Amino acid sequence: MMKRLLCVFVFVSCPLAAVITYAQTRTAATAGVTSGPSQSGLQLDALDRSADPCTDFFQFACGSWVANNPIPADRSSWGRFDELQDRNNETLKTILESAAGGGDPQSQKIGDYYASCMDEKAIDAKGIAPLDPLLKKIGAVTTASELAPIVAELHTIGVDVFFGFGSEADFKDASLEMAIADRGGMGLPERDYYFRDDAKSKELREQYVAHVAKMLSLLGVPQAQADASAQAIMRLETALAKGALDVVSRRDPTKIYHKLTPEELQTLTPQFPWQQYFKGIGAPPIYALNVTEPDFFRALGQTLDSTSVDDLKAYLRWHVAHSSAPVLAKPFVDENFKFYGTALTGAKELRPRWKRCVQYTDGDLGEALGQAFVKEKFGPEAKADTLKMVHEIEAALEKDLNTLTWMTDATKREAMTKLHAVADKIGYPDNWRDYSALRIARGDALGNSQRANAFEFRRQLNKIGKTVDKSEWGMTPPTVNAYYNPLQNNINFPAGILQPPFYSVKSDAGVNYGGVGAVVGHELTHGFDDQGRQFDARGNLKEWWTAQDAKAFTDRAQCLVDEYGGFTAIDDVKVNGKLTLGENTADNGGLRLALMAYMAGVVAPAKTLDGFTPEQRFFLGWGQIWCATRRPEAMRMMAQTNPHSPEKYRVNGVVSNMPEFQKAFSCKADTPMVRQTQCRVW
């Protein structure tokens, strides 16, 4: 429900999939996996054999899947990732339903949390009463100078107002945790939503203001006042957004690293009493902090100054309602869905309650729930197999580096050092999080959520000034995703993704290498994409490229910027080649590395399975993990905010750069899947 702090602050980690995290996340609906009689593990009934693989490989690999899997009403998009996440969630549901009364305190906790969330009747009966204490405190504020303690309290329980605060590795000394203050407190998905002047964007802003007004009126604010306040809140958030960086700039780590002393921060934002705030959140002594976007904090100070105290209070009330909505009474849930589910992403129906509650439990008690999931679903064979593949793919990158013609030996040596330092994390954490300090009370859904957020916030604050714990995970075990963390130089593969269609002990190697193998290659390549390459072997933001090699890299990357920038996401909205550069680099490099690793193990004469050669099965394995469709609203939002390209281009954009693909499917040189200028970075 409330955003997990970890995700807010790990700026530069790169998840694999384009998960839309608004209002409802990740849980899925009806369609299960339909399995054809396949020897290879490929989804044969997903293929569109009437399509020409050399014309549109995505259509060939996924055409029938797309035709046969309409987007469920409660989803804004639907794909293979979602199918698998849905299956994982079924497992989690079973675990959660039997957890309470199971004996051990940890099971009791996840069981009670889930049961409290499921008890809609009790939640509805309470109405807005659970928010009363907070609303009273906000009501008691008389001047802007009194805001710091209440902002501190709201941040502690996960309400995102004005800015974000927490802990993150110091980009330039990545072994140490440092305090971090980041922009925040804006209810629209991204800063440009406040400024775009096309008709759709204007309409969304009108809907947003109406939504804010409705939420305030649900809190009991008289309608006329709610309407006026919503306008004021929009002005306030727009003023904050003016000071914020756009999505592309935020991908540049040098633009979001500004190490300041608390005194310097105070000078930047004289209107906000920082020491009071630090005291309010119970922060350890802070000697320096990363103020990611100084311009934002300047704008924040000016906004605090120029906004009336009544409007500031209305803004706080709105965000309290917004953050709490998912576990409040039905009118809040419905209104929240109407804007964040329907208007923004096109979903038609609210997701069933159990799916939402599974998701919230995963968000708030993920490593308690994850332990039970791993016991049930993740065997040592999958772990050993994945690790073997990871080592092979790392060896493939080593080979690739050794044979590069565009990089000097000096930079190659550094790259090799970085590659050898990559840590591989597979399945689940070695040390599980200890939730014993977190109190979960049956029948108190909102309180549970707030206490879970406070637990996490304090856990983050506790790290400040200490050594970074690289064994920690940024994703929970049942998650169908993966990531690279450039500040830790490690690749992470949760148990949730190490299953079909990504990986199966029963599948042909080609399908596994095209699936999870390419996922591994993708994450590994992130260490060397336009963002990752700026961090060294120890995770420090440090130049290790010669100027000549950096230029050669940038020239090669520009080819991908141009290629993907030419793809249309929807209507007149193009894919943003710069925003998606890191992901596209990872997709292209990752698939190539996986192919190298795979071919090293293919024994001649190659066998045909399901009518496909080993190379064809490999490419189809890649194509089929990306079978997906997206509603127009969600596609638009993705293109404007998400660093990943739409699935179709993740498939076609990559294979059309590969001579190996052309050969595998005997494509003629003038077919669409054979680009005239084939891009290659790695």
Catalytic sites, residue numbers: 523, 587
| Least Å from the CB of residue 528 to Zn ion | 12
Q: Give the sign of the dihedral formed by CA 99, CA 100, CA 106, CA 110.
A: positive
| Least Å from the CB of residue 4 to Zn ion | 19
Does residue 501 have a cis bond before it (omega within 30 degrees)? yes
Helix (H, G, I), strand (E, B) or coil at 26: coil
Question: What distance in Å separates the CA atoms of residue 143 and residue 399, rounded to the nearest whole number?
Answer: 64
Residue type, 518: A
Query: Nearest to residue 612, comparing CAs of 626, 627, 628, 623?
Result: 623
Beta carbon nearer to Zn ion, 167 or 642: 642
CA distances in angstroms from 565 to 53, 282, 639, listed in the order given? 23, 46, 11
Question: What distance in Å separates the CA atoms of residue 354 and residue 650, rounded to the nearest whole number?
Answer: 32
Question: What distance in Å separates the CA atoms of residue 521 and residue 587, rounded to the nearest whole number?
Answer: 8
DSSP result, 335-376? HHIIIIIIIHH---SPPPHHHHHHHHHHHHHHHHHHHHHHHH
482 binds Zn ion (CB under 5 A): no
| Least Å from the CB of residue 526 to Zn ion | 6
Instruction: Name the one range near Zn ion by CB under 5 A: 7-15, 18-26, 556-564, 661-669.
Output: 7-15
Q: Which residue has the tokens 């120890």?
A: 538
Residues 238-277: b if buried by 16+ CB within 10 A, e if exposed: bbbbebbbebbebbebeebbbebebeebbebbeebbbeeb
Instruction: Name the one range near Zn ion by CB under 5 A: 15-23, 58-66, 103-111, 374-382.
Output: 15-23
Beta carbon nearer to Zn ion, 95 or 586: 586
Residue at shortest CB range from Zn ion: 14
Which residues inside 581-610 make contact with Zn ion, applying CB under 5 A? 583, 586
| Least Å from the CB of residue 484 to Zn ion | 7
Question: What distance in Å separates the CA atoms of residue 242 and residue 247, rounded to the nearest whole number?
Answer: 13
Question: What distance in Å separates the CA atoms of residue 611 and residue 36, rounded to the nearest whole number?
Answer: 14
Question: What distance in Å separates the CA atoms of residue 331 and residue 453, rounded to the nearest whole number?
Answer: 23
Beta carbon nearer to Zn ion, 14 or 422: 14
Residues 116-129: b if buried by 16+ CB within 10 A, e if exposed: bbbbeeebeebebe
| Least Å from the CB of residue 19 to Zn ion | 12
CA distances in angstroms from 116 to 105, 352, 445, 571, 679, listed in the order given? 16, 15, 5, 43, 52
Going by the DSSP 8-state scheme, the letter that residue 558 receives in this structure is H
| Least Å from the CB of residue 14 to Zn ion | 4
| Least Å from the CB of residue 327 to Zn ion | 31
Question: What distance in Å separates the CA atoms of residue 553 and residue 576, rounded to the nearest whole number?
Answer: 19
What is the size of the binding site for Zn ion (CB under 5 A)? Answer: 4
Interface mask toward Zn ion for 555-584; x: CB under 5 A: ----------------------------x-
- Strand 173-183 relative to strand 289-291, pairing: parallel
| Least Å from the CB of residue 515 to Zn ion | 15
| Least Å from the CB of residue 561 to Zn ion | 16
Taken as a whole, the chain contains a residue count of 682
Interface mask toward Zn ion for 637-656; x: CB under 5 A: --------------------
Residues 295-308: b if buried by 16+ CB within 10 A, e if exposed: ebbebbbbbbeebe
Beta carbon nearer to Zn ion, 14 or 561: 14
14 binds Zn ion (CB under 5 A): yes
Q: Where are the beta strands (DSSP E) in 262-306?
A: 289-291
365 binds Zn ion (CB under 5 A): no
| Least Å from the CB of residue 399 to Zn ion | 22
Beta carbon nearer to Zn ion, 168 or 583: 583
Beta carbon nearer to Zn ion, 537 or 586: 586
Beta carbon nearer to Zn ion, 234 or 561: 561
Question: What distance in Å separates the CA atoms of residue 682 and residue 491, rounded to the nearest whole number?
Answer: 18
Beta carbon nearer to Zn ion, 580 or 616: 580
Beta carbon nearer to Zn ion, 6 or 586: 586
Beta carbon nearer to Zn ion, 216 or 628: 628
Q: Give the sign of the dihedral formed by CA 308, CA 314, CA 316, CA 319.
A: negative
Question: What distance in Å separates the CA atoms of residue 372 and residue 478, rounded to the nearest whole number?
Answer: 10
Residues forming the site for Zn ion (CB under 5 A): 14, 16, 583, 586
